């Protein structure tokens, strides 16, 4: 999903870019940031799907940073077309040309004019790529892999599905059409009801059918929050027709096409859960504010540590937190042996939103638990987007 890539925090400009690129072949992957990373790898390592042809840099980025970053990109990927939104001037035009920027558009450009610029940029990039040396073509065709976020708990009843659907909806606001949620609670999954969907096809179809990019998209169900869902089989008995190997292969293919793959798993550490973990870049551990739930999570962490199966990024969430439960947050952390990252207070809003089939982050509710969910979603933003803005400007990006 990265024939076009955009870096900007300007919501209006991003909207116009999405309108302009909607009817062009390929798709758009967006990074919401008003500054650039220190290394081009921080961006290119997160691109998924089709090889990138056009990189669009928003009007809110500093000109000096853009020129340095463009020079670094042009050195590594000379076939790419870089389009920069800025007020044109003779001085900027000359510097842009020397840095490898192929086109400058005014920040207020309308979507129709922007469509023509992007179409021309894509055609020029494709032409340059066709005549590029084989080693350059091989490097460009190798894309990164989307983040696979597994939401897990050794015990049921801790709100996994509520957390998973809200993560997906929250990420859908950051990366529209680049998020898919997969229900791998194969017997009793509730993602379909949690999102108020009636899917025609399910994980069963995807696992037992061709898994090329085009075929996979036919199994997905679109959701109004600009995300896709791959729901659990309608018949619990169909879970036996899906092997752990098929689960692993399915997740691997989805991660090649989507920026974020959010997975709602079944309780426990069964074979399908372990197959999911084997592909996951992140795991969200959910537990309640009760001793059995906390002890179950500790056991799960210990087992996976022994198996060397803990993903690179861990996020511990305490759901339905209540000071009157008899144990404190410090007690939970002492038992787990790891810090709690996000606390979701006990709330009437979350169960109500789940029962309505409208995730709280989609509904825009004001509630302490919703605030916690937003904090959780922010943990999955691109890593370079979390760094200090001023420090990034002082670094040299052209190496």
The overall average pLDDT reported for the chain is 89
User: Same structural domain for residues 155 and 184?
Assistant: yes
* In a shared domain, residues 162 and 76: no
Q: Are residues 101 and 153 in the same domain?
A: no
Q: Which of 143, 178, 199 is the last residue of a domain?
A: 143
Residue 396 lies in a domain: no
Question: Contact 110/129 with Cβ under 8 angstroms?
Answer: no
Residue 389 has pLDDT above 50, yes or no: no
Which pLDDT band holds residue 326 (cuts at 50, 70, 90)? confident
Range of weakest confidence among 130-139, 279-288, 336-345, 373-382:
130-139
User: What would the mean pLDDT of 52-61 be, rounded to a whole number?
Assistant: 96
User: How confident is the model over 29-38, as pLDDT tens digits?
Assistant: 999 888 999 8
**Which residues have CB under 8 Å from 129's CB, separation 6+?**
51, 53, 79, 137, 140
In the block, tokens 């999405």 appear at: 18
Residue 354 sits in which domain range? 147-383
CB-based contact 82:40 (threshold 8 Å) = no
Query: Which CATH number belongs to the domain containing residue 328 in this structure?
Result: 3.40.50.300
For position 395, what pLDDT does the model report?
A: 35
Instruction: Show which of 89, 121, 143 is a domain's final residue.
Output: 143
Task: Give the integer Cα–Cα distance in Å for 267 and 156.
Answer: 5
Tell me if 28 is assigned to some domain.
yes
Instruction: List, in sequence order, every residue forming a beta bridge with 285; answer none if it has no partner.
Output: 152, 316
CA 239 to chain centre: 27
46 to each of 42, 145, 224, 383, 384, how far by Cα in Å? 7, 6, 25, 10, 11
Residue 386 has pLDDT above 90, yes or no: no
Dihedral angle over CA of 335, 340, 346, 349, nearest 10: -150
What CATH number did the domain enclosing 23 receive? 3.40.50.2300
**Could you tell me which residue, 127 or 136, shows the higher pLDDT?**
127
Which tens digits make up the pLDDT trace of 168-201? 999 999 888 899 999 999 999 999 999 999 999 9
pLDDT at 38: 86
391: in domain = no
Residues 191 and 309 in one domain: yes
Q: How far is CA 48 from CA 102, 130, 347, in A?
A: 23, 21, 37
Q: Say whether both 245 and 189 belong to one domain.
A: yes
269 and 308 co-located in one domain: yes
Going 187 to 192 to 198 to 201, the CA torsion angle's sign is: negative
Q: Is the domain of 69 the same as that of 154? A: no
Question: Which band of pLDDT confidence, cut at 50, 70 and 90, is reported for residue 334?
Answer: very high
233 in Cβ contact with 186 (< 8 Å): yes
User: Would residue 340 count as lying in a domain?
Assistant: yes
**Maximum alpha-carbon separation in the chain:** 69
Q: Quick one: tokens of 321?
A: 């937190």
Same domain for 126 and 191: no
Domain count, the chain: 2
Domain-ending residue, one of 125, 143, 161: 143
- Residue 394 in domain: no
Same domain? For 127 and 273 the reply is no
Beta strand ranges found along the chain (DSSP E)? 4-7, 28-31, 54-57, 81-85, 103-105, 147-152, 179-184, 221-223, 227-230, 260-265, 282-287, 313-321, 342-345
Digit-coded pLDDT (tens) for 79-124: 999 999 999 999 999 999 999 999 999 999 999 999 999 999 999 9
Question: Would residue 59 count as lying in a domain?
Answer: yes
Rg of the chain on CA atoms, in Å: 22
Which of 26, 227, 47 shows the shortest CA–CA distance to 7?
A: 47
Does residue 151 sit in the same domain as residue 131?
Answer: no
The b/e string for 119-134 (b: 16+ C-beta within 10 A; e otherwise) is bebbebbbebbeebee
Please report the pLDDT score of residue 383 as a whole number.
63
Cα-based angle 159, 162, 167 (whole degrees, multiple of 5): 125
d(CA 157, CA 260): 25
Residue 214 confidence (pLDDT): 83
Residue 159 shares a structural domain with residue 104: no
Q: In the prediction, which pLDDT does 203 show?
A: 97
pTM for the full predicted model: 0.83
Q: Look at residue 393 and tell me if it is in a domain.
A: no
Query: Is residue 388 a part of any domain in this protein?
Result: no
Question: Are both 53 and 94 inside the same structural domain?
Answer: yes
């Amino acid at each position: 999903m990265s024939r076009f890539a955009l870096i900007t925090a300007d919501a209006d400009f991003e909207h116009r870019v999405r309108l302009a690129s909607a009817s062009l072949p390929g798709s758009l992957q967006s990074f919401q940031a008003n500054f650039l990373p220190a290394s081009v790898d921080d961006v290119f390592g997160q691109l998924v799907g089709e090889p990138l042809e056009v990189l669009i840099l928003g009007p809110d980025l500093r000109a000096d940073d853009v020129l340095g970053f463009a020079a670094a990109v042009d050195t590594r990927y000379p076939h790419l077309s870089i389009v920069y939104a800025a007020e044109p001037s003779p001085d900027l035009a000359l510097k842009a040309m020397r840095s490898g920027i192929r086109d400058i558009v005014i920040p207020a450009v309308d979507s129709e004019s922007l469509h023509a610029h992007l179409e021309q940029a894509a055609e020029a990039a494709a032409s340059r790529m066709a005549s590029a040396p084989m080693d350059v073509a091989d490097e460009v065709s190798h894309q990164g892999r989307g983040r696979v976020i597994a939401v897990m708990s050794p015990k049921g009843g801790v709100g996994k599905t509520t957390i998973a659907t809200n993560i997906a909806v929250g990420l859908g606001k950051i990366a529209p059409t680049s998020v898919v949620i997969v229900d791998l609670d194969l017997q009793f999954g509730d993602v379909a009801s949690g999102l108020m969907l009636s899917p025609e096809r399910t994980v069963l179809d995807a696992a037992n059918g061709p898994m090329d990019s085009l075929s996979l998209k036919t199994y997905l169900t679109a959701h109004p929050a600009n995300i896709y869902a791959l729901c659990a089989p309608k018949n619990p008995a169909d879970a036996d027709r899906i092997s752990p190997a098929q689960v692993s292969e399915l997740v691997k293919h989805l991660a090649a096409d989507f920026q974020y793959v959010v997975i709602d798993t079944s309780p426990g550490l069964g074979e399908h859960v372990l197959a999911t973990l084997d592909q996951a870049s992140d795991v969200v551990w959910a537990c309640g504010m009760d001793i059995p739930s906390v002890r179950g999570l500790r056991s799960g962490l210990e087992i996976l540590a022994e198996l060397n199966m803990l993903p690179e990024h861990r996020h511990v969430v305490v759901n339905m937190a209540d000071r009157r439960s008899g144990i404190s947050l410090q007690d939970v952390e002492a038992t787990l042996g790891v810090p709690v990252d996000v606390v979701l207070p006990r709330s009437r809003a979350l169960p109500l939103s789940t029962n309505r089939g409208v995730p709280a982050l989609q509904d825009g509710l004001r509630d302490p638990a919703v605030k916690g969910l937003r904090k959780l979603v922010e943990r999955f933003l691109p890593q370079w987007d979390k760094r200090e803005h001023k420090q990034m400007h002082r670094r040299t990006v052209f190496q």
